[in-house]
C-alpha cells in the first residue's frame, strides 16, 4: 500500500473466541455440583452471579439474559436440596440473583448501544479521513512515495496531522506536511482548509514563497469559520513544511513554517535540513513577516527524504524518553520507501509501548533516475552537492 492509517485499538483488538461463550455455562454447572455435595452450612449459590457477569463480557444482552435465567434456575435447583424454595434465605437469594442478573443485562444493552454508535462514528470518520487525507500515489513523476498516519484518537480514527502531494504544470512535484494545533474531529476543518489551499496554489504559484503566502492568506481568511473556538478558545495555527522537487534537476527547495525539519538519507547518512529562517506557522495572521526565500538542497537519484510531524519525535517510551528518529534512521534498512516506512512504524510502536499520545504522520520520498538523468549522466557526476543551508550533519 502507498498510504496507511493505523489505530492502536485496531492493532490490539481481538474478538473473544467462541469457546469462551461456554465458560459461564460451565461455571454454573460446576457451582451447582459443588453446592449440592457440600454441607448445608456452606452456601455457594451466591457465586452464581459471576456467570451473567461473564456472559456480559463474552457476549451481548441475549446471551447475558440466557445465562442469568440459567443461573436463577440453577440456584432454585440448589435450594431444593438445601431446605426447599420456601425458606426465607433461599427466596432472598433467588430474588437478589434475578435482580442482579437483570441489572447486568441492562448494562449489557447500554454497552451494545454505545458500541453500535461508536462503530457508526468510526465508519463516518474513516470515510471522512479517506476523502480528506487521500493516500498519495506510490509513484509520481520520478518519485516513489510511502505514507503513514497514526491517529491518537482511536475512536474517531482521525487527527490533526496532514499531508498532500500535488503535481505542478512545469514537471515538478510539490509536497506538504503539517500539524494542526489540537487533534481529533475538532481539527478536521482546519486540516481540510490548509490542504485545499495548498492543492489549489500548487498549480498556479511560481515558487514556494508565493505558494506559502497563498496558503497563509487562505488560512487567515477562513480560520475563524472552520476553527472550533467554542471547545478550544486558544490560539489556532498550523505548522507546515512545503517541498518543491523538479523532475529533471537535483536542486530541490523547501519552505518551513515552524515545522520540524526534514531528514535526507544519502549514502546511508542522515542529514538534518535545517532552514535558514523558518517562517511563522500558518494562521499567525497578526504577525507581519517579510517575504522569505526558500531553502535549496540537493536531492539526487537514490536519495530518500523523510517528512514527519512532531508526534513522531515527541513520542515517549514508558520511561519518558523521546523517540530518536534521526539516530534510528541511520540503522534502519531502507531498500525502498515502503520498506523504510514499515521499519519506522514497527520501531516507533515498539518504542511507545502503548497508544500514541499525539497524532503522527510520516512521508518517505525517494528520487529514482528519470529519463533526463539517464541520458545526461554528467548532471549527477559534475553537479555540486549542497544539502541545505548548513553543512551536512551525518548521524
> Which pLDDT tens digit goes with each residue over 14-24?
445 456 778 88
Reduce the DSSP state of residue 96 to 3 states and report it.
Answer: helix
What integer is the mean pLDDT of 205-232? Answer: 80
* Confidence (pLDDT) at 60: 84
Which range among 21-25, 59-63, 247-251 has the greatest average pLDDT? 247-251
What integer is the mean pLDDT of 161-165? Answer: 91
Confidence of residue 122 (pLDDT cuts 50, 70, 90): low
Confidence of residue 362 (pLDDT cuts 50, 70, 90): very high
> CA-CA distances (angstroms) from residue 331 to 144, 324, 347?
21, 11, 11
Confidence of residue 93 (pLDDT cuts 50, 70, 90): confident
* Confidence (pLDDT) at 339: 93
* Confidence (pLDDT) at 208: 94
CA–CA gap between residue 53 and residue 59 (Å, rounded):
10
* Confidence (pLDDT) at 225: 67
For the chain, percent of residues with pLDDT exceeding 70: 76
Reduce the DSSP state of residue 389 to 3 states and report it.
Answer: coil
Reported pTM = 0.67
* Confidence (pLDDT) at 54: 85
Which residues lie across from 242 on neighbouring strands? Answer: 176, 255
Least confident of 66-70, 224-228, 377-381, 391-395: 377-381
Long-range CB pairs of 41-46 (<8 Å, 24+ gap) are 43/82, 43/93, 44/78, 45/75, 45/78, 45/79, 45/93, 45/97, 46/93, 46/96, 46/97
Q: What is the pLDDT of residues 277-322, one digit of tens each?
A: 889 999 887 665 667 899 999 999 999 999 999 999 999 999 999 9
Mean pLDDT of the chain: 80
Q: Cell 502503548 sits at which residue? A: 354
* Confidence (pLDDT) at 380: 35
Look at residue 210 and tell me whether its pLDDT is greater than 90. yes
What integer is the mean pLDDT of 90-111? Answer: 88
CA–CA gap between residue 233 and residue 238 (Å, rounded):
15
Look at residue 110 and tell me whether its pLDDT is greater than 70. yes
* Confidence (pLDDT) at 326: 93
Domain boundaries, the chain: 3-124, 133-381
Which range among 26-30, 62-66, 294-298 has the greatest average pLDDT? 294-298
* Confidence (pLDDT) at 232: 55
For the chain, percent of residues with pLDDT exceeding 90: 35
CA–CA gap between residue 94 and residue 87 (Å, rounded):
11
* Confidence (pLDDT) at 3: 53
What integer is the mean pLDDT of 27-52? Answer: 82
Please check whether residue 67 is in contact with residue 97, taking contact to mean a CB–CB distance below 8 angstroms: no
Confidence of residue 373 (pLDDT cuts 50, 70, 90): very low
Dig out the grid coordinates for 19 from the structure. Answer: 469457546
CATH dotted code for 133-381: 3.60.40.10
Amino acid at each position: 500500500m502507498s498510504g496507511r492509517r493505523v489505530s492502536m485499538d485496531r492493532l490490539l483488538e481481538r474478538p473473544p473466541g467462541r469457546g469462551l461463550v461456554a465458560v459461564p455455562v460451565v461455571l454454573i454447572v460446576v457451582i451447582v455440583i459443588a453446592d449440592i455435595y457440600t454441607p448445608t452450612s456452606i452456601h455457594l449459590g451466591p457465586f452464581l452471579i459471576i456467570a451473567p457477569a461473564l456472559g456480559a463480557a463474552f457476549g451481548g444482552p441475549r446471551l447475558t439474559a440466557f445465562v442469568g435465567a440459567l443461573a436463577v434456575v440453577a440456584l432454585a435447583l440448589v435450594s431444593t436440596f438445601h431446605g426447599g424454595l420456601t425458606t426465607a434465605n433461599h427466596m432472598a437469594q433467588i430474588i437478589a440473583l434475578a435482580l442482579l442478573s437483570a441489572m447486568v443485562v441492562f448494562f449489557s444493552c447500554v454497552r451494545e448501544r454505545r458500541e453500535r454508535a461508536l462503530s457508526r462514528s468510526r465508519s463516518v470518520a474513516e470515510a471522512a479521513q479517506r476523502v480528506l487525507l487521500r493516500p498519495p500515489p506510490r509513484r509520481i513523476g520520478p518519485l516513489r512515495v510511502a505514507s503513514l498516519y497514526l491517529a491518537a484518537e482511536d475512536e474517531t480514527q482521525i487527527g490533526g496531522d496532514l499531508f498532500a502531494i500535488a503535481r505542478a504544470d512545469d514537471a515538478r512535484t510539490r509536497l506538504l506536511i503539517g500539524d494542526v494545533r489540537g487533534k481529533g474531529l475538532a481539527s478536521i476543518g482546519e486540516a481540510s482548509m490548509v490542504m485545499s489551499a495548498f492543492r489549489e496554489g500548487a498549480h498556479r504559484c511560481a515558487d514556494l514563497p508565493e505558494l506559502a503566502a497563498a496558503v497563509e492568506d487562505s488560512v487567515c481568511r477562513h480560520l475563524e469559520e472552520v476553527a472550533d473556538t467554542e471547545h478550544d478558545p486558544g490560539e489556532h495555527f498550523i505548522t507546515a513544511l512545503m517541498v518543491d522537487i523538479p523532475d529533471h534537476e537535483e536542486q530541490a527547495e523547501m519552505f518551513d513554517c515552524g515545522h520540524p525539519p526534514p531528514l535526507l538519507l544519502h549514502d546511508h547518512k542522515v542529514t538534518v535540513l535545517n532552514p535558514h529562517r523558518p517562517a511563522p506557522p500558518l494562521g499567525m495572521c497578526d504577525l507581519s513577516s517579510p517575504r522569505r526565500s526558500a531553502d535549496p538542497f540537493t536531492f539526487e537519484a537514490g536519495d530518500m527524504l523523510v517528512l514527519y510531524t512532531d508526534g513522531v519525535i515527541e513520542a515517549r517510551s514508558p520511561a519518558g524518553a523521546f523517540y530518536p528518529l534521526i539516530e534510528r534512521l541511520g540503522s534502519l534498512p531502507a531498500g525502498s520507501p515502503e520498506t523504510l516506512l514499515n521499519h519506522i512504524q514497527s520501531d516507533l510502536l515498539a518504542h511507545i509501548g502503548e497508544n500514541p499520545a499525539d497524532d503522527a504522520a510520516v512521508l518517505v520520498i525517494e528520487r529514482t533516475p528519470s529519463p533526463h538523468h539517464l541520458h545526461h549522466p554528467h548532471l549527477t557526476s559534475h553537479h555540486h552537492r549542497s544539502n541545505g543551508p548548513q553543512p551536512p550533519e551525518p548521524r
